[in-house]
């Protein structure tokens, strides 16, 4: 069955790490006026604000979102607003409200207004220490140890329920840590990988909050955007799995990232001071098996550690220094 066209798109969490870059790419593809950015607390960048419509909406306010859906005749939602893992451990109630209540709102609105499609990001945080940590398979035991992970497992089940019960076309991937050159993340465990670049360029030193030998799966922003857009464009007949797909980019230890950055900034020094985030990192996969996504809708990542590091240094050297 050919994919039904997405004509008017709403992006929630558009001022966040993924949203700020994905919205621009969606505008490039579907037209500036047809991609509506929605944020809540964080001020949008000038680029985001000036390139198309922007609305301030609280995703936990169903009426507020409904108004925006009606105002613009929205048929597709990328629902990105979320509280990440470390922040969720400090404020579990907030993590539940933002991550689950808002998803329920979006799915209900999509069902009632017969929207064409919804994208919602899950995370490698769905896995806990009982899952194999190397090449973590698509289907395995999901017993996360963080509130964020709990909301992601519950969210996957909710999306699956809406597909089976109501036929809602909702698609999802399990993102690893995302490395970005425009908007920094906030409140995640994998944030150290992004912070390390910024601090290496600005100060030539960084204190990392996980051990040197900590290996986690990561992905560069162009691949993150590609995964969302490829899956949303995929033929419905190819998308057989309505729970989130594993997607992989690269895996490296904090020490390996330091060594790669040193190739460009030889004087860079990194110290290690693990805190409560280490235990969470140790409960997550080290690498991901994404063969199901490859087989079903042709997923392929494009950036490895070397290519990502080169691009991050080149981009940030110009913009930060």
For ligand AKB, which is the closer residue by CB, 157 or 164?
Answer: 157
User: What are the angstrom distances between the C-alpha of 242 and each of 23, 55, 119, 164, 231?
Assistant: 24, 30, 11, 9, 11
CB of 115 to ligand AKB, least distance (A): 25
For ligand AKB, which is the closer residue by CB, 163 or 175?
Answer: 175
CB of 57 to ligand AKB, least distance (A): 23
For ligand AKB, which is the closer residue by CB, 27 or 79?
Answer: 79
CB of 320 to ligand AKB, least distance (A): 21
The per-residue DSSP string of 284-305 comes to: S-SSB--HHHHHHH-------H
Q: Which residues are bridge partners to 220 per DSSP?
A: 179
**CA nearest to 25, candidates 51, 43, 50, 54:** 51
User: What are the angstrom distances between the C-alpha of 142 and each of 123, 136, 138, 172?
Assistant: 12, 11, 10, 16
For ligand AKB, which is the closer residue by CB, 109 or 293?
Answer: 293
- Bridging pattern class, strands 205-208 and 177-179: unpaired
CB of 87 to ligand AKB, least distance (A): 8
For ligand AKB, which is the closer residue by CB, 123 or 214?
Answer: 123
Identify the residue whose tokens are 């999509």. Answer: 110
CB of 31 to ligand AKB, least distance (A): 30
**CA nearest to 281, candidates 200, 193, 222:** 193
CB of 145 to ligand AKB, least distance (A): 12
For ligand AKB, which is the closer residue by CB, 148 or 268?
Answer: 148
72 is annotated as an active-site residue:
no
| 8 Å CB contact between 62 and 81 | no
The per-residue DSSP string of 6-59 comes to: P-SEEEETTTSHHHHHHHHHHHHHH-GGGEEEEESSSPPPHHHHHTS-EEE--T
Q: Which residues are bridge partners to 49 per DSSP?
A: none
Q: Which residues bind ligand AKB (CB under 6 A)?
A: 84-85, 123-125, 148, 175, 177-178, 185, 188-190
Give the separation between CA 140 and CA 119, rounded to whole angstroms: 23
Q: Considering 78, 148, 206, 220, which one is annotated as catalytic?
A: 148
Q: Please list the active-site residues.
A: 148
């Amino acid at each position: 069955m050919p994919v039904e066209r997405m004509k008017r798109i709403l992006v929630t969490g558009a001022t966040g790490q993924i949203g700020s870059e994905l919205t621009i790419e969606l505008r490039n593809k579907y037209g500036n006026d047809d991609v509506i950015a929605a944020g809540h607390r964080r001020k949008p960048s000038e680029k985001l604000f000036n390139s198309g419509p922007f609305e301030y909406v609280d995703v936990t306010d169903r009426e507020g979102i409904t108004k925006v859906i009606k105002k613009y005749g929205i048929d597709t939602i990328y629902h990105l607003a979320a509280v990440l893992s470390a922040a969720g451990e400090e404020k579990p109630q907030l993590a539940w409200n933002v991550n689950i209540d808002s998803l329920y709102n979006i799915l209900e609105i999509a069902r009632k207004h017969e929207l064409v499609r919804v994208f919602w990001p899950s995370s490698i945080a769905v896995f806990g220490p009982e899952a194999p940590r190397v090449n973590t398979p698509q289907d395995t035991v999901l017993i996360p140890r963080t509130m964020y992970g709990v909301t992601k497992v519950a969210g996957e089940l909710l999306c699956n329920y809406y597909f089976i019960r109501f036929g809602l076309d909702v698609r999802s991937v399990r993102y690893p840590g995302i490395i970005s050159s425009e908007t920094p993340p906030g409140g995640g465990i994998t944030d150290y990988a992004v912070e390390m670049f910024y601090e290496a360029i600005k100060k030539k030193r960084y204190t990392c909050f996980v051990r040197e030998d900590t290996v986690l799966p990561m992905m560069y922003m162009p691949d993150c955007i590609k995964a969302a857009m490829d899956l949303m464009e995929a033929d419905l007949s190819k998308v057989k799995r309505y729970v989130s797909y594993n997607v992989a980019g690269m895996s490296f230890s904090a020490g390996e990232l330091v060594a790669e950055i040193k190739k460009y900034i030889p004087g860079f020094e990194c110290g290690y001071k693990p805190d409560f985030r280490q235990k969470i990192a140790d409960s997550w996969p080290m690498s991901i098996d994404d063969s199901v996504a490859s087989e079903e809708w042709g997923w392929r990542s494009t950036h490895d550690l070397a290519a990502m590091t080169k691009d991050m240094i080149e981009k940030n050297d110009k913009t930060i220094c």
